[in-house]
Amino acid sequence: MSIELEKRISVLEDKLALQELTHGYLAAADRKDSNAMASYFTPTGSLTSIMPNQTIILETRDKIANGFSQILRPITVAYHMAGQLATTVSGDTAEGISYCFVTLAVSENDEQYVRKIWAVYKDEYVKSNANWLISKRVATVAWEEREAIK
């Protein structure tokens, strides 16, 4: 096998691994498993969540897990649908952008409602010990709708 072919196969394997990383993270979010969600980040990873009324910044895996735990507390059901994922691999680092449609059933302050969120994730990844992890994620809510549950 030529070196060029081996390199192309390696890039394809990395791109598939990044897709599995992205989908695994969303599956953990659907299970509302904050520790599993945080495990997709490097120990020093960061998450910035930009929403219309606030921005949340969490740095380090432990703070990300704790932050997710608080964020997920009022959510009774979570459902993420992954859209397109575009990645650029450069050795042991990569960048990516992915789109996601999120439906959340929320119960807080004696109110129940559904949040529909169109989100964009801009990620930086690092390959460590043959595994890809998110080193930096900026999650931006592009659009959100809320509807009361009757």
What is the pLDDT of the chain when averaged over all its residues? 95
- Percent of all residues in the chain with a pLDDT value above 70, rounded to a whole number: 99
* CA atoms within 13 A of residue 79's CA, in its CB half-sphere: 6
Structure tokens that stand for 105 in this block? 């059933």
**Is the predicted pLDDT of residue 1 greater than 80, yes or no?**
no
From CA 52, how far away is CA 67, in angstroms rounded? 18
| Average pLDDT of span 27-34 | 97
Sorted by sequence, the CB contacts under 8 Å of residue 10 that are 6+ apart come out as none
What CATH code would you report for 3-148? Answer: 3.10.450.50
CA–centroid distance for 65 within its chain: 13
Cα(111)–Cα(121) distance, integer angstroms = 29
pLDDT at 94: 98
